[in-house]
Amino acid sequence: MLTLTLFFLCCTIAGLAIYLFIKMQRLKEADDKVTALSTSLEEMDEQAKLIMRTDIELNKAQEELDKKISGLNTLQKLSREMSTTLEEKQIFQKINKSHLEDLGFENAVAFLWKTLEREFQLCLNVGYSEAEILKIKSAVSINKDHYLELINHDRTISSTLIPADFLPKDKICELYLVCAFIICPILTQEGDQGFIFIGTSDNEIPITEGDRELIAVLANQIGQTLDNARLFEKTWRSQQELELKVEERTRQLTGALEEVKKISKRKSDFISSVSHEIRTPLTSIKGYAAILLAGKLGTLPEEMHSRLEKMNRHSDELVHMVNDLLDISRIESGKAEIKKENLNLKNITDKIADLFSEQLKNKNINFSSNIPDNCQEILADRNQIERVFINLVGNALKFTPQNGKIEIRASSINKITQIDVKDTGFGIPQDAQESIFEEFFRVDNTINQEVKGTGLGLALVKHIIEAHQGKIWVKSKVGEGSTFSFTLGATK
């Protein structure tokens, strides 16, 4: 019984020992777990510290970055808006409250130093009442030397960076009613320079280097736009001055032209009246000469007869000259009526050939006309245009030597008929070609010295062609011949 009791006791003790052992083991395991958890917690806490330290730096960087992005966007927007204007006053008007808020500010003023007036002039006011701005203007005026110093040394200052020689921060904040601010010079290549003040009453917003850079970029942009505006203004003024000068010159030239026209008219009137006065006694002289030559007053001695014939011939020449002068005068003064009608060019050239047939035959000159079918019809005054042909062909005949060639050609482009009278004559020197259509001009050559002429023929031709709204010109080479060309409107 005792043995059995002892056995049970031993078993119980052994069981208890085993239980205790297991319990201790578990406690140890639990303790290890607690230690491990505590270590993990400590480690996590250390990690949390690292996270927090990194986070605070990241927040700072993020804040600065956000500010820069927002600022740059605003600057880009402002720059685009400012570049649309070239007027100095409007440049500052582009800056509004919304732009300032995007840049993180609320108030702004800008002043430009007017060198002549020796004072700062307000150009921008955002966020200040009339009374506030008056106070600011007055303070800027009193402290102008400080602001000029900033401009001259291109110094940007802010509430966090104020040089010792500038106004104290508190004074600036009190004046501009802000807690933080930036003052930046507006520099230009030429003309008035100034400064921009930008501020906020939010004392939570610190002014960073980034803010200063942004406002400096804005001030620079304003400066460049001011330069562009001033350059434009200068160019525009120069153009205006130039236009005024051109206008004045045109007015003077118009006056001179009117004067020339008046003189020309007076000349035409004079020639016309003189010609008429000369023609009347000439008709009498010619009449009496004809009576004498016809022997109606008795037979004249041979010498007297030859002298009278000379008088009669010279009188004819004089009549011819007077008629030409009268014609020119009439055309110039617009008194000559141009009766345009459809004419056949071939008929006219045939008539001219017939008229000059004797002289052509005498000098053995080959006369030809080449008038294509599409140039047959012209619109002109018959008498006047015949005078043109008579003059041009007559001249060609006069200056073309024996066995030469005279050709009349016609061509048509865009309803304009061009007629060329070409000869193989002596030609006209280059320097005389421009003056050949002037009245009383005669080319200085041997033919002209031998053959008499009035010097009015080509001038008359020119007037007739111009009265037909045509043009006349000459191409000539000495020794090869000349081509006189003129244009007329065709009927078709």
Partner 1 sequence: MRYILTLMNIGIGFSESKDQIQAVNAAITQAIVELKNLRPSIAIIFTTIEFANPLVLKTANYLLGEIPILGCSSLGIITNQGIFKHGFSILLISLDQQTFFNTALIKELNKIDPITNGKNLGEKLLYGCNNVHRSLSIIFSDGLTASTAGILNGIQEKLGRSFPLIGASASDNLTFKKTYQYFNKELCSESCSGMLFGGKFNFGIGIKHGWNPLGKMRCVTKSSGNVIQEIENRPAVKLYQDYLAKDTWELSKELKRVSIFYPIGINLPGEKEYLLRNVISIKDDGSLVTQGDVPENSKIRLMISTKDSCFAATASACHEAKKNLGNKKIKFVIIFDSALRFSLLGRQHVKELAITKDVFGADTPLIGIYTYGEQGSLNPINYLGRSYFHNQTISVLAVGDQ
Question: How many degrees, rounded to 5, is the angle at CA 204 between CA 198 and CA 210?
Answer: 55
Map residue 338 onto helix, strand or coil: coil
Question: Which one, of 210, 202, 206, 218, lies nearest residue 65 by Cα?
Answer: 210
Number of residues that bind partner 1 (CB under 8 A): 25
- The yes or no reply on residue 98 touching partner 1 (CB under 8 A) is no
Q: Quick check: 134 binds partner 1 (CB under 8 A)?
A: no
Instruction: Please state the closest distance from residue 38 (CB atom) to partner 1, in A.
Output: 10
Confirm or reject binding of residue 56 to partner 1 (CB under 8 A). Answer: yes
Q: Least CB distance from residue 45 to partner 1, whole Å?
A: 4
Q: How far is the CB of 166 from partner 1 (least distance, A)?
A: 24
The one among 13, 51, 134, 257 contacting partner 1 by CB under 8 A:
51
99 to each of 83, 95, 133, 179, how far by Cα in Å? 16, 6, 20, 19
Contact 334, 373 (CB under 8 A): no
Q: Which of 32, 154, 202, 354 lies at the binding interface for partner 1 (CB under 8 A)? A: 202
Is residue 213 close enough to count as binding partner 1 by CB under 8 A? Answer: no
Distance CA 421, CA 352 (A): 12
- Considering the rule CB under 8 A, would residue 59 count as an interface residue with partner 1? yes
Q: Which of 6, 13, 27, 48 binds partner 1 (CB under 8 A)?
A: 48
To partner 1, the closest distance from the beta carbon of 21 in angstroms equals 35
Task: Count Cβ neighbours within 10 Å for each residue of 399-429 and write b for 16 or more, e otherwise.
Answer: bbeeebebbbbbebeeeebbbbbbbbbbbbe
Instruction: Work out which of 138, 203, 235, 370 binds partner 1, going by CB under 8 A.
Output: 203
Task: Note the Cα 79 to chain centre separation in Å.
Answer: 27
Pick 49 or 492: Cβ nearer partner 1: 49
Retrieve residue 274's tokens. Answer: 């003189």
User: Does 55 sit near partner 1 (CB under 8 A)?
Assistant: yes
Q: How do 194-200 and 180-186 pair as beta strands?
A: antiparallel
Answer yes or no whether residue 61 interacts with partner 1 by CB under 8 A. no
∠ CA 408-413-416, nearest 5°, is 75
Q: Pick one of 20, 41, 65, 260: the residue that binds partner 1 (CB under 8 A).
A: 41
Residues in the chain: 492
Shortest distance, position 62 Cβ to partner 1, whole Å: 8
Binding site for partner 1 (CB under 8 A): 41-42, 44-45, 48-49, 51-53, 55-56, 59, 63, 66-67, 70, 102, 104, 106, 129, 201-205
